Structure 1
Amino acid sequence: MHNIAQIEGIHCHKHFFTLPLDYSRPQGPTISVFARELRGLQTNAESLPILLYFQGGPGFAAQRPLANSGWIKRALQEYRVLLLDQRGTGLSSPVSFRSLAGMTASEQAQYLSHFRADNIVRDAEAIRQHLCPDTPWSVLGQSFGGFCILRYLSSAAHGLKEAYITGGIPSLSRSADEVYRATYSRVLTKNRDFFRRFPDAQPLLNTLADHLRTHEEYLPNGDLLTVEMLQLLGINLGMMQGAEAVYYLLEQALIDGPEAKIVNPIFADHFTQLLSYHTNPLYVLLHEAIYCQQSSSNWAAHRIRAEYPEFSPDASDLLLTGEMVYPWMMQQISNLQPLQPCAELLASKQDWPMLYDARALASNTVPVTAAIYSEDMYVEREFSLETAASVAHLKYWLTSEYEHNGIRMDGEHILDRLIALNRGHQLR
């Protein structure tokens, strides 16, 4: 009974599963994988079918619900919801510099090579075999979670009854270089929109950057705040209400000190909260690997950035970057420093397995509906449409109404619309 908790309108059940680290060696080392099952309060809740949720990422735990609201509220009307902490995150054998400290860099890289979408899906299918072995289940994937669903459809579609994707249809074949060329172009547009909406944001950002070039300012975690690190704030520009959060932060960045301007401690604290690189190492270590199939990334975002001099940290009008990771992060972010040799090995790894099976997707029979956000800064619209056209039985809703985090901002409506589209109901 200690594994059952209740929050507003939801019964929560904890599940822990012992699963292989490497599915090609089922008798080898194991990891623990955690999933939280949510049930509504209706009398038949325990007998409802399961909807598995794939969190965005890579490297982030599933959300911790606070109440029966948003997309969860819509889902619990007809499903039990299973929130999966993907391997290496949350309560699923979490990865950090401390958990990997007993391994050599080569051993770390070999270990983490098993933490991509292919093995996340193998975990999901193993859990399905445990919870409902005779019944295919439904899945919902946000962002990287959608990448996981495309992998599921490629490798284990027999386990799926239906699939829903929000902001997460990947290219099936484009390289990391191609992805980042498209992404940098999107981020340029987001910067222009940001500075147009907030005319004093550019001088505020420039003034702060000039200050950091001549003064040492430190974050609450002890890391030096550099101009390159400041640019990382741009990851928020692609989120609904993200630009506002960045602007209000810049407004209070500098205050008067005893002798000169200093960085406001409130700014330093909120800055750290808006970025997650220091707390979610898998996001940095495996971010580019999610695009790799029989090829290495070789720090693609860093290399492609040279084609966009507008993003130079020395620019007179500083721009913010987006969802990119860079090799210098392994030096400037203290929690990543011990993992720098491992990161270099992963960036140069060439034998990443294939993730998607184009032939299987072309003959897919699982009903799939997806929300594609036309102005998405993280998942290129044209690549998503390209993939959607090559997956059988996939319907999509193309909209400019939402940014990438639409599922968090208006999830009840978005999921309801996708369910209606999937079942051929009249859209509201």
Structure 2
Amino acid sequence: MSIGHGGPSDAPGANPPHGTPQPPTPQGHFGPPPTPTPPPAAAPAPAGPPSAGLPAASPPWAAGPTPPGAPAGPPSASPPAAPAFASPPWAAGPPPGGGTGGQGGRPLPLPAQPGTPRPTPDTAAPFSAPHTPTPHNPYAAPHAPHAPQGPTAQVTPTTPTPDWSALADAATTRTRRKRLLYIGGALLATLTVAALVTTAIVSSGTSPSDGKNTSLPSPESLPTDPGAPTPSFSPVAPPPPPDPKEFISSAEKDKAPLSADTLFPGNSLTLEGRTYPKGATNRVTDCASGTQGNLGGILNANGCTQLIRATFTKDGAAVTVGVAVFPTEAQALKAKNQVKDGVASLPGSGVPTFCRNGTICRKTANSYGRYAYFTVSGFTDNKRNVTPKDKNVFALGDDAAKYTFLRIVERGRVQASAAATADTTASS
């Protein structure tokens, strides 16, 4: 069905209005609804064009047809003042010709407004006079918006609360099941390993009851991996032997036998390929009796206990070595530092008297441990004095002093070695 302006078939009164007309509520109006005005009766439209003497057509904003019983006449000469704002399109009255368009001149229904029920054909009514909107006052307090109308909003159902107790029981059950599986798996693995070990033992040996050898192979017969590192053990070093000087520095430790034969053994003195025949030897407890000058008094004052002498000769020269023995090393050192004069030469056993009657001889003094040793060397003719040019006399005296020192050191070494052996035997 097409909608257009009314034509010859849209005669006024052809489709009378149904029911009592209801004024529509204009959109945007927040005040009380206007008082409904009863619609005027529809005036018969002229069959043709209006004559020149007829009044002009009513403006769109004029009221509708004159209601029944009201006198018909032209509208007032002074039309009402135009509203401040243009009327909405649905407020205009029916167009000239008696219809609003559509079939049979029936007024078109208004579009549905939010929150307003749409009128049915039985309740549809022609539009009433337009409502004059109130001009907007920018200084007025704002209107509170209307509460939303229309159908009730649908409430979305909430998710039900889970059963936490049931979930906890399920988790506990799963944990217990996993624990049982782990325990069962470990037990099964243990039984499997035990069975394998038992099988290997049974297959590799026999029980002792059958009388056969069930011992494991010796370490020598086991296979070795040439690439594997071999353990290394550092040998435990034995404790160092005692210092030999400890045994010759004090009479408490120096217990080895001491005499001219133990200190100067053999018939000669041999040192670095040089040999000197040995002459007479002597040992006295009165240290001063084997000295010359003030040396005897110094030895006795420092506690000398004995004096051992020995003579060696070579090529017309001779040397006598005298070893003074003290209780401690400190006493021997003090006597050596105070020395004056020297030891007396010892002739005999084929060696004539030398270094007597005022002849000049070479003298030395030294000490080691609790021993102080002295030398006197010169010519055996007892006439010549020793000078720095007499190299053979100096060499003879130096070799005798060095030999004496080595013999004292050897005495301490022997005693230290014997003590170390005794300690090892006791510990084992």
TM-score by shorter chain over 0.5? no
Question: If each structure's helix is expressed as a fraction of its own residues, which one has the higher value?
Answer: 1
Bigger RCO (CA 8 Å, 6+ sep)? 1
Q: TM-score, normalised by structure 1?
A: 0.19
